[in-house]
Each structure stands twice: as structure tokens, then as C-alpha cells.
Structure 1
């Protein structure tokens, strides 16, 4: 049956390695994890079973670009698939929901954040779901290279929605991460299917080169291969612009691509690259996750990748058609400090952690959280704030209760009385009560849910369900914003100072593991025997030749990277000139002294809510010491 479905719906005569056992396990009612290299067909592992399974397949995907590419492929095969995402209008998302209710959609793709949405959760809880698919499943593990706190809630959502089966997909999971993923989803270890990480068609070449010589080397290298699709990865946005401009000046058909560009510009560039109108894309890691181009012949790392996992994922975009392809890494340790400094930017200060704990202590048994105001108030960036809340959940201090929109309003599309006339008995009485407790200001009505409960005894959830029903019937337009998350607080709280110290140590431990990733990567790049064998071994794949014969180490050209001398910290006078305007702004805005940590982040160029608020980017010292290691700078500021 699987092979028949494969031929009928996808036009393929046979499965790729690993796909068939995954598909058969799912069709036999089992949960499974598929650990396949980038570009080896992980998506088919859910796309094919979704056709045969009786109910909806719900796919959690981390990137909009990934969703859009996969949807385009499914639609080209005549498979009913859709997404609900931030790029859609209200009417578009409502139309998708209606199709799902009517059973017209087999595959629905969403981000994990969508499950925090009060209205979406009410909708999806009424839908029968056969399979939960977690793409980039390594994000659930703190030991993974792209830990996303919201992924930790997926096992809870699965139980709540009573989804019988789960499929975990990833290309970059070490044995430790695989064990962690399997444990969180109660997955038997024999239901983890790994195909190996060895790509015999990829030539891995690491060249030790001085930072100043990279542009010339890159230009000469790419000039040897005109009109061949290539990606050049850089760390920072301004590097993407500078490198692309230089290559253009050398007659190479190159463009820059990074998150600083607007969405339409990025979309146009991606389309041009896919259509072979741009040969070389010089990009940050914002480019690639949604790119499924089979004939990329060259992936060049102009800067060091963030980790072995990132390196593996990025070179995996080369040669997906199985043809020989080249992966070149221009290696030196000049931007090591930049990579390390990004890591330190995600650790909150002790005072910031204390401020969050104080908020919780003052809330009592129930804490209502608006994430963005709390981020701005405590100077913790949104992602580390999510991580902090997850740590508190794991410690049993907080328990997620529910979430709702703090700001709900509606606008009538007709008169209220004719609408009420459509209902009888208690339903009409209830709707009359909703309208009575929704005062109108010019055009918009603002429901008073507390007043409605006191007067009528109706819960907020019933009122929201009624308003959503009226919107479906085109009686009104409903708007909701300001997501508020409600937590139960376990009382009594432990000693807050001790707890703050423990939480800081958790962040510092994570920080140390991220820095160790950079060390691991530098060791791999200097592998003396075989790069392919060492890379596969990092991911626990032992079924690899000891000598691949197609890497720089096998050719006797193993890279040796001398430690690059780091920039020195200027004298106290220069530091004072840079920091004085910032200190004045922080004291004026927050009535707080400037901490050494915030000063270091300013000088290194790491953004934070407080730095954004005081417009630190416009000050002369912002990012002035980007090449200085964070630890060295902190020591200078504290002595």
C-alpha cells in the first residue's frame, strides 16, 4: 500500500532510504522519529501517511518559508493542505478554519506559537487529529542547537488534543538530543529511525586563511564556476551586503539576503535564485531553511558557522540532486568572539531575574503575564524570557493555566435587534446580556467579561465562542490582541534570592554549553584524518568509511587555525567617553545605575530592551568593541 500511494500521489517509483520504515510505522499506528540528513526527504514521511490517515495531520513548523514551500509542493500534487500563519488576513485564516471543520483539509501547518492563541485553541480542540508532526524536533531539547522554549509544551498539547500518534523530524540531532526528544514524547528508542549523516557526493574543503584574504580567495574560487548556483554564508547582515557588492564588482552575479531586508524583497530574491536568475546568494542563516533547490553546487562559509549542527545543516543544502557538489569553509578564528558574544547576549542579569520573581510573588496564586511589557520592564529579551518561564515551569513554581486576549472588541455589521431575533430562549437572553455588557465607543464595542460573569454567571470562554459564531455568520467583525498568559503560582514560594541564583546558574550552564559548541566546531575543522568521518561521528553515525577520499583532510590538507590575536580594550578615558551618554540615558529612563553587564553588551553591540528604549544604536560606542571577547571586556569593566 505505501508504494502504491507513493506512485499514485507523488509519482515516485521507490522510497528514499529510511522513508518506507517511517511511513509503515505510522500507517501501523505507531509514533516514530525520523533523523535524516538535510534534503533527504523527511517531509514525505508525513505527507504520504496524511493521505491515508482518517483525520487531520497537524504539522508544527518553525519557519513560514518552510511552510510555504511544502504547501506549494503538496498543492502541486493535488493534496489538500493549508497553513494558518501571520502573513494571512483574518478572512483567509477563517476560510482555512472552515475548510478544516468540513474535513476538506488533510494537512494543516502552524507555528508552535499559534497554539497559545485563545481562539485557535478553541477551534483546534473541536477537530479530530490523527497525527502530530513536529518539524525541527531538536528544538524541544535544551541540548539541541536551536532550543525553543515553546516546543517544550508540545507533549502537553498532544495530550490535551488527544492526538494518538506523533512524528518527530530533524536533520541535526546528536545521540543526547535524540534521547531527550524520545523521552519527552514517550517514544520507544527502537522507533527512532536514523539513515546516517554521510553524504558521498559532497566534497568538504576547509582552508585556513587570513581574514583579509578571504574576499579575493572567494572571488577567484567562484569565478572558476560561472553560472553555478551557490550560497555564501556570513554571520552578520552588513557582511552580506559588503561581500555581495564586492562579488558584483568582480562580474559575479551575486545578491545579498538577510533579515534586515523587507519581506517582499527577500521573497523576490529567493524566487530569482530558484529560477537561476541569481547565481550566488550571499546570506545570513535567514536564508536556506525554506530553500529546496536540488542543484546547488557550492556552499561556502565565509565566516565560521555557529556550531557543527549549523554547519551540517547548511552544507546539506548542496547537491540534493546527488551530483558532486563542493562545500568550502574559509577558516580563521577572527570572528570567534562575534559568535561567542551572541551567546552571552541571551543570559539575563541577576537583577532582571529578581524583578521577574518579584512580579510573580506579588501576583499571589494567579499571575497574568503580558510578555512584551515584562520584557521591556526587566530588560530580558523575549526569547530568554520564554526560557526563564519554562525553567520556572520545570521547577514546579509556575503551571500554565490558559491564555486570552486582553484587548477584545467587535464592530457590528448590521443592527443588533435583527440579529437577536434569530435566536430564542436562553441563547437569546445570553446574547442580550453580552450586548448589554459590551459598551460602544463610536464604532467598536468593548466586552466587559467580568461584568457579564457577575450579572449573568457566564464564563469568558462562552462569550468568546458566541462572538466567534456571530462573526462566522457575518453579523460582526471581531478583533483581539495583547496575548495574556495566565499561570498558577505554587505557594509558598521558595527563597527568592536563592531561586534567582539557581536560575542564573541554569542560564550560565546553557551559556557554557553553547560556547563549548564553538570549541567542538573548531576542533572538527582541524580534523587531521577525515572530515566526513568526524562529522558523522559527532551525530553518532558509525557506519561511515574511515577515509572518505573527498575532503581536505583525506587529501593531506588538514587545516591548522592559529589563535588570532583579539582586539584590546581601550583605556578608561575612551571607555568613559563611550559609556557616559549611555549611563546618563539609563539613569534618566530607569532610575538605575549602568551595570557592567549592560555596558559590555552595549560596547559589543548586543541589543536589549533597555538599549533599544534609550536608542543606544545611535550612540558612538554601540558595537565599538564587537571583536573583543565578552569575558575579557567584563573583566576590564569590573577592575
Structure 2
């Protein structure tokens, strides 16, 4: 450990580590074993891998989903003289080339990448040539199917660790329940971490945080509690968490205009520059940010005096992470929640939003399995178009491909490509562009023939051009890259298409695809029910009956964290009274409501679509039909979803799953194009793609699919 202390002193100026930092670093540096570190943001997690990185002679590779946080850490490391870099989509061609050069020359000590980078063949090949002394996986709870922030790409990280022969793995997360810890530590699908010796936690109890929960009847009543708390918070900043982007705007405006509180909204819908401006404003002052969960990760600010939740949080994991951003300086800080019974429907609709119908999964599998092979032997897929065509959300679609890859071994994702390129003359060298016009190569001629010329930009569909001219897409892309490298033009890309190698014969028989679709749907449905259960656990938490700090610690398996099971400062400890909180869900729905939905929407081939529509869950199909703006959308938002689904299943079966006309257009924003789309959809169920004939192109899987008898 002497070398670790020396590096800490040399680069950071600290004489010693704090908390469990020393124990984790000893596990990595001295014992050379894998570890899991559970520590709140701001608790010093980054030092736990940055210091060991300087003790090893190879590269430390950091997997992090937060580009902004990675860039901040890289900037701070460079200021301290640590050779570090991030490889992400925000880099220019020159910057990216410089990082690769440093990798080849072995001058980098720490490299940050997003998990999606692991699908890039060139990157994986380059990293495979490096000695990876340490693989650090930030936000590692994302690998767990039981985690609330589950991400499909994270499932591939443990496989990647084995394939590059990483000498050690360090997983980092702010919160983890016992089941999530089990998934992370698993020797097969996780990171092979010893549960007894390799898991280190700072504990979930923060004695300076006062949890106060005050249910409110309505929107106005919430402000009556929130405003006085914000005004009396003292010298420090505050975060108010809301559920939707619209709420962020509305709450911030009301706090500012009606109550004189310096508040600004923050959400993913804002422009990147605006989000950055608000972050800097918040970090540098004592203002209030009203935000969705997009805000707070990686925010290094010690004097946040108050974190408020304007609605119920989605999960106790989210709640624990978010209140953990308060009072990092150790001073008393308030964690206020002002839930109401009406918060539940929209939150449950989010939980229900990710599960497509069995019909959608079945038709997607049919279409993907008969997709033609590209020239390089891969199948390419436009996730955006697939999402709309099969009524499957983009994140869920990524998960479906990952299931085919990791659980069934049918495919393997490889480097994506872009279908659309746009080029224009360089502003500092416009006279170079004629070199492109004078290029007489076959590839250049094909590109010039098919590009669409605008005032400045030229847009090229490389996929369509390749098909039309019989030239490999990769050759066209190399030609554009040569133009760019020669300094003749500026290039932008769009229309990403994912590529998949075929690892096993793809299912051909209808019954095999049906069995696969059922198995995948069952898995997604179980995840949905687990998400709903987590949400209802939050509602039970609000009711209390015990110290809130103790209840939260018990949820994370830390039942001895709070002395004598009482913090003494939460709202329960002060009143000793449970809250009679009764959120709205699982109420009865009427036959009149069902008939209202069926009378407006003619879809009968997908009962789950109808149930989600009535419950208020949007999807690509409901958006295309314009029904997300109709009165039927969410008319049964507090109903028992599974009983609602049963009712629509019975109706669709009775109608033979044959679609009818959509009888009424949306009440607002109705346009002729939406009407045309409605008509097309209502004419009948979408047909599954035609089976490939025996004379069709070869693919892994052999002969064409045999028809059912």
C-alpha cells in the first residue's frame, strides 16, 4: 500500500484515504482481486480506481455512461498531471486520432469509454492489444436485471472483461440491494467478486439527513409545503425532483414568478448548452434547480441543503441516490417529499411502458430473421424504423437484441454504421471542395450521382447509393473518409444502423419462433411486474410506521445501520405517527370506459396495445395513430392493468383479431397526415414479413423456413 499512499500524496496532496477507500484499494493493489464498492456520489469513488491506476504498469479502462462526468474527471486528472483521456462521440476526428495514438504508444494510464463503445470492432481490437491492469465499471448496478436503471449494453461488460483478460475488475455504484449485489458478483454473468471479502460499503445511513414526508392533496398544497421549506433552507442550494419535463418547467416558473425563489428547470429536453449553463450556475451558487432524474449524477457540490421530491420517486434506489446528493459537507440537510395519491398513475404508466405485446415481439423476430445479409455477412438493422414498425420502444428493442445475443447466442453486435452522410466545404479552406467534384473514381462518381445538393450541404444516402450502383457500402464510406482526411470537406453522419454477426443458425420454423417469442415476452413481463412492485414499495415506505432512515437502510440490507432503529430527526421520529397514505391504483373500471376506447380505436389485433392506451402508456403505434392526444388515452389510468388487459383480450378474441376503422380522429392537433395514417392502420393487421423462398439468398440457418401444415 506504500505506493498507493505515495501516489495519493503526489497527485492529490492528501495524506490518507477516508472511509472504505483504503480497504478497496488494498483489495485491488495488494491482494490483486476483484471488488465491489458501494459508495454515494461525492463520497470519493473516483479515487478508488484513479489511485490504483497509477500503481499498475498497464491501462485502467473505465466504463461510464456519463460523458459529461467522464470529461470533467479527465480534465481534473490532466490538471494533476495524470495521463488520462475519454473516447466518446463528442470528440473531433483529430481528437479521437490523438487518443488512439496515445493508446498505441502506451502513454495513457486511464481511459474512459461508454458501454456502447464495446460494440465497436476497431475499439475492441485496439484494447485487446493493451494490458488492462484494471477495468472499472461505474454505475455497475445497471448490469442487474433487478436494478431500476437496468441497461442492455451493460450486460455485455462482464463478457468483455473476460475477453480482454482484465487483470482486476472494480465495480462501483451508489446503491445496491442484496439481489443487485448478487447479480454484480455472479461468477457467470457478473464479475466474479467474492461476496464475503470483495464487497465494500460506506453504509446507507447519513445522520445529517432529515427525511420529512408530507403527503398533499393536490398541486397547490404541495407548494404550500415546498415554498416555506425552500425559503428556510439556509445558506445552500436545493434540488426539486419532478417526474416529467413539463412539470420541471411549470414548477420552476411558479417558484420564480409567484414566490420569488431563484429557480431554473433542468431536463433532457433542453439544449446541451442550456443544460451546461444551468449546471455551472447551480454549482457556482445557491440556487434551486427543478429537475427530472437527468440532473444530479456526477454533480460535485457539498452544500446542497435540501433535496425535495415533488412526486413519489419511481424506486427507493432512485430516492436513496437522489437524497444522497444533500449535505455532503456533513451539515444538517433536509430531504422533503410531498407526494399525493394522484402521483401513482403516471409512475405506473412509466413502469408499464417498456413491455411490448407478444404480437410485436413475434412480428419483429419474423422480420429480423429473414433480413438479407449485407456484403460483409452481417445483418444491419435500423432501430428507429423497427421501433415504429413493430410498436417497440427503442430501449426495449436494444434489450431484445441483447437477449438474442447473450441468452441465446444467435447474434453478436458489431460496429454500427451510418446510413446518411452530409458534406460541405471547409470554412477555412473552401477552395479545396472542387477536388471532390473532380474526383473520377467509381466511388466518387456514384456518390456525386446520388447526392442531394442543398445550398451548402450535400446529403448522401450511402445505403441506397450502394444498392443502386452495385458498390459495397464500405467502399463508399472509405471514399468519403478520404475526402475528409485530405481536408477537402467537413463531414457529418446520421441514421445509425446497428450490425449483427450471425453466430448460430437463426430459427426457421414457425413453431420455433413462436416458442422464442413467448419466452422473451414472459421475461419482459416479469420485469414489468417487478418494476410495478418496486413502485408500490415506495408507496408503502411513505406510509411509514417506523423511522424512515431505518426503513431505507433495511431495504438495502443494512438493518443495523441506524442506532436503536431511530434517527431522531425524520418526520416519523418526530411525530411517532404513520401516514394514512392511499395512492390511486387498482380501482375498478366501467364497461362504459371500455366501450369508449373500443369505439374510438379500431385496433383488435393487439389487446395489450388497447390496455396500454386506456391506461395512458404511449407507444410508437399510438403516436402514429394520433391516439396519444385523444380523450381515450389514460381514461382508465387508475385501473388494475392486468384486469383491463383481460377485458381487451376477450374483446379481441371475439373479433377474431381483425382490425376495424379508427372512428374518431384526435380531438387536438388532428392533421390530414394523421388521418391518412389512421386509415392505413385500420385496414387490417400488419402482415408478418413473407417467408424467404427456397431460392432466396443464403444465411446462417440453412434452408428456408418450412411452412406450417
TM-score of the aligned structures, taking structure 2 as reference length: 0.77
* Partner residue of 1:187 out of 179, 193, 200: 193
User: Match of 2:135?
Assistant: 132
* Partner residue of 2:448 out of 442, 447, 464: 442
Distance 1:484 1:236 in 2: 30
- Distance 1:448-1:351 versus aligned 2 partners, 3 A rule: closer
Where in structure 2 are the equivalents of 1:120-269 lying within 5 Å? 120-183=123-186, 184-189=190-195, 190-212=197-219, 213-225=221-233, 227-248=235-256, 249-269=258-278
User: Match of 2:346?
Assistant: 338
Distance 1:101 1:474 in 2: 24
Distance 2:64 2:368 in 1: 32
User: Match of 2:526?
Assistant: 509
User: Match of 1:399?
Assistant: 411
- Note the C-alpha offset of 1:599: 3.6
Unpaired runs of at least 5, structure 2? 426-431, 452-459, 652-709
Where in structure 2 are the equivalents of 1:390-469 lying within 5 Å? 390-396=402-408, 398-400=410-412, 402-405=414-417, 407=419, 440-442=446-448
User: Match of 1:597?
Assistant: 608
Distance 1:120 1:477 in 2: 23
Distance 2:178 2:585 in 1: 35
Distance 2:597 2:570 in 1: 46
Is the contact made by 2:584 and 2:638 (CA closer than 8 Å) also made in structure 1?
no
User: Match of 2:569?
Assistant: 550
User: Match of 1:419?
Assistant: none
The answer to whether structure 1 residue 561 and structure 2 residue 580 are counterparts is yes
Is the contact made by 1:368 and 1:484 (CA closer than 8 Å) also made in structure 2?
yes
Higher mean C-alpha displacement, 288-297 vs 84-93: 84-93
Aligned residue for 2:354, secondary structure, equals: coil
Is the contact made by 1:337 and 1:629 (CA closer than 8 Å) also made in structure 2?
no
- Note the C-alpha offset of 1:415: 11
Aligned residue for 1:297, secondary structure, equals: strand
The answer to whether structure 1 residue 319 and structure 2 residue 321 are counterparts is no
Where in structure 2 are the equivalents of 1:576-615 lying within 5 Å? 583=602, 593=604, 595-615=606-626
Distance 1:528 1:618 in 2: 41
List per-residue Cα deviations over 1:324-377 (Å, max 9, x = no partner): 111111233321121111111100111111012212442599644332222222
Distance 1:536 1:628 in 2: 32
The answer to whether structure 1 residue 45 and structure 2 residue 48 are counterparts is yes
* Partner residue of 1:534 out of 540, 547, 551: 551
List per-residue Cα deviations over 1:14-50 (Å, max 9, x = no partner): 2121111212222233221111233311111111112
Higher mean C-alpha displacement, 345-354 vs 403-412: 403-412
List per-residue Cα deviations over 1:360-402 (Å, max 9, x = no partner): 4425996443322222221111111122223333442523163
List per-residue Cα deviations over 1:612-637 (Å, max 9, x = no partner): 44455555555566566644654665
User: Match of 2:393?
Assistant: 381
Distance 1:57 1:467 in 2: 34
Unpaired runs of at least 5, structure 1? 417-431, 584-591
Distance 1:6 1:133 in 2: 18
- Note the C-alpha offset of 1:114: 1.9
User: Match of 1:483?
Assistant: 497
The answer to whether structure 1 residue 86 and structure 2 residue 89 are counterparts is yes
* Partner residue of 1:4 out of 3, 6, 15: 6
- Note the C-alpha offset of 1:80: 2.8
Distance 1:567 1:395 in 2: 34
Is the contact made by 2:139 and 2:173 (CA closer than 8 Å) also made in structure 1?
yes
- Note the C-alpha offset of 1:515: 1.1
Distance 1:510 1:598 in 2: 18
Distance 1:525 1:447 in 2: 54
* Partner residue of 1:284 out of 288, 292, 302: 292
- Distance 1:62-1:521 versus aligned 2 partners, 3 A rule: same
Aligned residue for 2:414, secondary structure, equals: strand
Distance 2:266 2:5 in 1: 40
Higher mean C-alpha displacement, 362-371 vs 166-175: 362-371
- Distance 1:353-1:554 versus aligned 2 partners, 3 A rule: same
Distance 2:488 2:255 in 1: 57
Aligned residue for 2:370, secondary structure, equals: helix
Higher mean C-alpha displacement, 234-243 vs 222-231: 222-231
- Distance 1:292-1:497 versus aligned 2 partners, 3 A rule: same
- Note the C-alpha offset of 1:155: 1.8
- Note the C-alpha offset of 1:180: 1.0
Distance 1:471 1:378 in 2: 37
Higher mean C-alpha displacement, 130-139 vs 155-164: 155-164
Is the contact made by 2:248 and 2:265 (CA closer than 8 Å) also made in structure 1?
yes
List per-residue Cα deviations over 1:115-168 (Å, max 9, x = no partner): 223444444444443221110001001011111111111122223333222110
- Note the C-alpha offset of 1:602: 3.9
- Distance 1:362-1:167 versus aligned 2 partners, 3 A rule: same
- Distance 1:414-1:251 versus aligned 2 partners, 3 A rule: closer
Distance 2:588 2:600 in 1: 19
Distance 2:405 2:13 in 1: 47
- Distance 1:410-1:106 versus aligned 2 partners, 3 A rule: farther
Distance 1:466 1:164 in 2: 40
Distance 1:91 1:581 in 2: 55
User: Match of 1:31?
Assistant: 34
- Note the C-alpha offset of 1:414: 9.8
Distance 1:468 1:17 in 2: 50
State the aligned residue count. 610
- Distance 1:321-1:575 versus aligned 2 partners, 3 A rule: same
Distance 2:354 2:254 in 1: 33
User: Match of 1:423?
Assistant: none
User: Match of 1:588?
Assistant: none
- Note the C-alpha offset of 1:575: 7.2
Distance 1:394 1:115 in 2: 14
- Note the C-alpha offset of 1:226: 5.2
Is the contact made by 1:206 and 1:558 (CA closer than 8 Å) also made in structure 2?
no
- Note the C-alpha offset of 1:442: 2.4
User: Match of 1:427?
Assistant: none
Distance 1:238 1:460 in 2: 42
Distance 2:72 2:139 in 1: 15
Aligned residue for 2:574, secondary structure, equals: coil
- Distance 1:542-1:160 versus aligned 2 partners, 3 A rule: same
